Amino acid sequence: MSVSAYILIQTEVGKAAAVAEEIAGLAGVTSAEDVTGPYDVVVRAEADTVDELGRLVVAKVQGVPGITRTLTCPVVHL
């Protein structure tokens, strides 16, 4: 069973569309959309394990230029 999460991203002013476009091309990302509100981009990501998901966020997503903050929200099945 795979692990999925929503990643809420704050960007520098005017960078949301470029950040969403770049993140959408990363392996493991199923969607990336620019939104309004307290966050600028919402990403849905999937990985085989929690560790893989963590590596995706830390090594790839957070490395995209223009990102100032991320909040990862793992999906739980109750």
pLDDT at 1 over 80: no
pLDDT at 3 over 80: yes
Residue count of the chain: 78
Per the structure, the complete domain to which residue 39 belongs is given by 3-74
**What are the pLDDT digits (tens) for 32-73?**
999 999 999 999 999 999 999 999 999 999 999 999 999 999
List the one residue out of 60, 70, 15 whose CA is nearest residue 39: 70
The whole model's pTM is what? 0.93
pLDDT at 18 over 90: yes
Number of domains in the chain: 1
CATH number at residue 30: 3.30.70.920
- CA of 40: how far to CAs of 32, 54, 56, in Å? 10, 21, 19
pLDDT at 10 over 80: yes
